[in-house]
Amino acid sequence: MTAALLAAEGLAFRYGADRPLLFEAIGLTVRGGQVLSILGPNGVGKTTLLQCLTGAHRPTAGAVHCGGAVLGSLPVREVARRMAVVHQMHESSFAYSVEAVVLLGRAARIGLFGRPGAGDRAAAAAAMQRVGIAHLAQRPLIELSGGERQLALIARALAQEAPLLVLDEPTSHLDLANQGRVLKLLRGLMADGQGIVMTSHFPEHALMLGGDALLLGRGAAPVAGPVAAVVTEANLAAAYQAPVALLRAGAAIACAPRL
Amino acid sequence: MTKALPCFLATICLATLLAAAPAQAERRVTDQAGREVILPDHVERVVTLQHQALDVLIELNAEDKLVGILRDWNKYLPATIADIAPVLSDLPMPGDLRTVNAESLAALHPDVVIVTHYMTSDVVEQIERLGIPVVKVSFFTGPKTEQAKLNPTLDDETAAYTDGLVEAVKLIGAVVGKDKEAGELVDYALNARALVNQRTAHMADDKRTTMYMANPELATYGSGKYTGVAMRQAGGLNVARGIDGYGKVSMEQVLQWNPQVIVVQARYAPVAEQIRQDPQWQAIDAVKNGRIYVAPEYVKPWGHPLPESVALGELWMAKKLHPALFEDVDMDAKAQDFYRRFYRKGYEGM
Amino acid sequence: MKGFGTAWVQGRATAPVLTLAVLATALAAGLVGRFEVAPWDVFRIALSPVLPFQPDWDPITEAVILQVRLPRVLAALLAGGALALSGACYQGIFRNPLVSPFILGVSSGAGFGAALAILLTTSAVMIQASAFTFGLVAVVASILLARLYRTAPTLILILSGVIVGSVFAALLALLKYAADPDDKLPVIEFWLMGSLSGVGYDDMLGLAVCVVPGATLLLLMRWRLNVLSMGAQQARALGVDVFRLRLVMLALATLLAASAVSVCGVVGWIGLVAPHMARLLVGADHQRMLPVAFALGGCLLTVVDAIARSLVQAEIPLGIVTALVGAPLFALLLRRGAREWA
């Protein structure tokens, strides 16, 4: 059993002293080569939970351990070497080239007065190659399609060379083809030993990736465990408070609201 | 750059020393900022960036030495000055009261530059770095700390501005080698002052006529300026003496003061008619009794005095305030006399 | 996507090209002025402290070149570069290419400081020191005001800058109201419009003392500006201590802007236009663009100053020339460079 890349127990969070708890008593573990999908309806706290796991928010209760150390005790630089985050939205006011953006992933390994060296450039090139966008290296990021942009951000995260990859709804703004590309990429990364945590709107994507899942629900207790056990029509209906159908056609899976 | 700098400085020092080595003899004067200035014995090329100094230079018959003047000279001095000294209209204008284009100035090859006392030190230093001596004039005397101030606090205004005027005229005279003319100008002015003083100095404050100097937009001169000195010399009292320096007042305040006489400077003559027509002013004594006077151009009762202010202006003001006391004084004749002597042209104003 | 003529500016060619551009601009500016000096003489006099030329020129010509023109050109290079660097830095931190280095109030503070000193003294050193100090005070006040809001996103910071800037502008208006329209008020107005007249070696040294270390540090950190410009959330996730880095860069950028403004008055547009031009030439990557912005800013201000002191007999305030040149130039750049920013 490899060491846990990320572990949390008893996590709870509320936005203010007068607000209700968004979630409580959440516990999870992620190891190399594993994926944890965090699922649930809008507003239930998926992204907030993710932010607690990456250290962007301090949890109201409980602790997060990253690579064995308490998250709050690690300097930001060290966290970035252990955990690479791909956020949902990316807006930039400047027309950086894709290569320049991917190079930013090396920030945790470059000194304050430093700049990317040959090694950094090689890592960036390898990341772009892995993700399949090497041919776009000199194009400005803002000219890319949504899917290509997402892949570029994933490449940036890979350039960080961190054992854990954290993605916030990586497929939400993508068309079907691009969804497939990203999922295939994630599966490949898992096979290479990368640990992955992701939030998603699409329970079927969690099923396609395998691994573990954590389903947060509106007015229902969180359900955790192997994804096949968690993502069932009954659990989904309880979490979403609406009837949901789970459809399979060979390897393809789809979730649809039952009208 | 930093390594070459000492070389720069050394070479400049050497060059300046060589330049300063007198081809002609030298003399020293102390200007009105207390600075000792080294001048060539004979000054033939003068640039003045101070309008009062310009007026004095003309009065000292030194306008032929002028090679450069300040930019807004025709705004600061009465229009007749262009007739009195036609050479002014063609002179280059390398700067004004507050700034200078160093290269334009250098191109004129002046022997000396006269500037105002509140010119900032960086401009003065730049001119000196070109090897051109700078003489500062202020037209008032007082402690060093007040010299640079906007509204100086002066213990004795009259003495400060009188001594200051005398000092300035003598200094300018010394700079251009017109000491004799300067002495004559000073004597003339002080004699006129004495004449007025004789008849008004003893007046108690409550017997004096209250006066208000009306500039446009309800601006006026308070204490610490020559205006109040002129008024006092003429046997009047500045209603605005509670204000420090130049400032704006409210209509209510003027109504409260209720001056007996209103004086308007020649350069702002339209203000007089405005006041006569304005319903807000009708309640004031001066307006009711028709005692609004536009000062002739030679009065110049401004922040700082000029020789003609003392020589003629105070006399004019005194005559207006106390016609009976000064019945024997023929203002026209006096004006003609001064203008002929010092401007070399008859007085053609009102 | 880069703009025109970038092939020869890219890669290793950048440093020598920049140096050449700066030297060429400095030389051209040195040849221009109201005092007539033959070009060969300008060249010889300028080099005379280090090369053994026979001095066959008269002392006033030498004084004009070495005491008036040379320090002015050097000061323009430094101040222009400082403004451009400061602008580029602010634009990166606020993630907005339309930000000028005066956005946090440094120009309003400096204007107030200068006016205060002008009213109380004639010492140029005091005026500069006061302008510098109050410029810094204004920015510190903006930052502290923004910190009152526990989440202090860049928007709050900008709003604080607007508030503090307005306060100082009002105080300045008060000072102008109190100034004698015949003597001190024009001095204040002239200072506010910007000018390099009267600049000597001591001013230039003072400027260099602030600008050289500040610019060096900023240029060394320029790659990290790329990271910062991704926004706080992403920069943090990439491993950068956002709060500390922003503070350091803001401090350095403000130091540069305040020292430039204290020497040359409020000169706008350089800090806005030069970074834009740099982006058009070499792209938005700060690693490449920041040195170009620095050089371009210096060249721009040098050219503008040469115009301001030579066009007519008197001195035209710098701020007027930069506005008349900068605004249309900026409009042109916006048309061409609309792709350089989203």
Chain C hits for B98, CB-CB cut-off 8 Å, are 186-187, 190
Contact B11 C49 (CB under 8 A): yes
Q: Do B99 and C120 touch (CB under 8 A)?
A: no
Amino acid B1: pLDDT: 45
Residues of C with CB under 8 A from a CB of A: 1, 92, 95-97, 220-224, 226-227, 229-231, 233-242, 279, 283-285, 287, 339-342
Contacts 24+ apart (CB under 8 A), B161-166: B161/B226, B161/B229, B161/B304, B161/B305, B162/B190, B162/B193, B162/B229, B162/B305, B162/B310, B164/B32, B164/B138, B164/B139, B164/B140, B164/B304, B164/B305, B165/B139, B165/B140, B165/B189, B165/B305, B165/B306, B165/B307, B165/B310, B166/B190
- What is the rounded average pLDDT of the residues B10-28? 60
B256-310: pLDDT as tens digits: 899 999 999 888 889 999 999 988 898 899 999 999 999 988 888 777 888 888 8
Phi/psi zone of residue A206: left (φ > 0), alpha (ψ -120 to 50 degrees), beta?
Answer: alpha
Task: Identify the closest residue of chain B to C263 by CA–CA distance.
Answer: B122
What is the DSSP track for B136-170?
Answer: EE-S----HHHHT-SS---S-HHHHHHHHHHHHHH
- Asked if A58 has any chain C CB less than 8 Å from its own CB, the reply is no
**In this prediction, what percent of chain B has a pLDDT beyond 90?**
46
Q: How confident is the model at residue C1 (pLDDT cuts 50, 70, 90)?
A: very low
**Domain B201-331's class?**
alpha beta
Question: Residues 27-46, chain C: which have Cβ within 8 Å of B?
Answer: 33-36
Q: Over 70: is that where the pLDDT of B21 sits?
A: no
Domains of chain C are 2-341 (1.10.3470.10)
Is A116–C238 a contact, with Cβ atoms under 8 angstroms apart? no
Total structural domains in chain A?
1
Question: B99 and C197 in contact by Cβ < 8 A?
Answer: yes
Structure ipTM? 0.91
C237/A142 CB distance under 8 A: no
Residues 180-239 of A with CB under 8 A from C: none
3 state SS for chain A: CCCEEEEEEEEEECCCCCCCCCEEEEEEEEECCCEEEEECCCCCCHHHHHHHHHCCCCCCEEEEEECCEEHHHCCHHHHHHHEEEECCCCCCCCCCEHHHHHHHHHHHHCCCCCCCCHHHHHHHHHHHHHHCCHHHCCCEHHHCCHHHHHHHHHHHHHHCCCCEEEEECCCCCCCHHHHHHHHHHHHHHHHCCCEEEEEECCHHHHHHHCCEEEECCCCCCCEEEEHHHHCCHHHHHHHHCCCEEEEEECCEEEEEECC
Model pLDDT, residue C160: 93
- Residue A19 has a pLDDT of 86
Does B161 have pLDDT greater than 70?
A: yes
Task: Give pLDDT, residue A92.
Answer: 80
**What does the domain layout of chain B look like in residue ranges?**
22-177, 201-331
| Nearest CB partner across the interface for A80, out of C222, C239, C285 | C239
**Residue A91 forms contact with C (CB below 8 Å):** yes
List pLDDT tens digits, range A92-138: 888 899 999 999 999 999 989 999 999 999 999 999 999 999 999 99
Tell whether the model's pLDDT for residue C7 goes beyond 60.
no
Say yes or no to pLDDT of B162 above 80: yes
Domain with A192, as residue range(s), is: 4-257
Q: In chain C, which among 125-184 make CB contacts under 8 A with chain B?
A: 125, 127, 177-184
Please give the residue of chain B at the shortest CA–CA distance from C123. B121
In this structure, what token pair is assigned to residue B331?
């203002």
pLDDT at position C59 is 84
Q: Does residue C9 have a pLDDT over 60?
A: no
Domain B22-177 classified CATH 2.60.40.10? no
- A253 contacts chain C (CB < 8 A): no
| Contact: chain A with chain B (3+ CB pairs below 8 Å) | no
Confidence at residue B23, expressed as pLDDT on a 0 to 100 scale: 52
Whole-number Å distance between alpha carbons of A148 and A175: 11
Q: Do C1 and A143 touch (CB under 8 A)?
A: yes
Which chains lie within 8 Å of chain A at 3 or more CB pairs, if any?
A: C
Question: How much is the pLDDT for C154?
Answer: 79
B83 contact partners, CB below 8 Å, separation of at least 6: B345, B348
C328 at B interface, C-beta within 8 A: no
Using CB atoms, pick whichever of C1, C287, C342 lies closest to residue A92: C342
pLDDT band at C171; cut points 50, 70, 90: very high
Q: How far is A256 from chain C (nearest CA, A)?
A: 33
Specify the pLDDT at position B5: 64
The model's pLDDT over C237-276, given as tens digits with 9 standing for 90+, comes to: 999 999 899 999 999 999 999 999 999 999 989 999 999 9
CATH of the domain at A48: 3.40.50.300
Cβ contacts (< 8 Å) between C71 and chain B: which residues? Answer: none
Which pLDDT does position C178 carry in this prediction?
A: 80
The C-alpha of A234 sits at a distance from chain C's nearest C-alpha, in angstroms, of 36
Percent of the residues in chain B that have a pLDDT greater than 70, as a whole number: 89
Q: What is the mean pLDDT of each run of 10 residues along chain A (259 residues)?
A: 80 86 86 92 88 90 89 92 89 89 94 92 95 93 88 94 94 87 92 93 91 88 91 90 88 85
Q: Is the pLDDT of residue C341 over 80?
A: no
Closest residue, chain A, to C242 (C-alpha): A76
CB contact under 8 A, B118 and C309: no
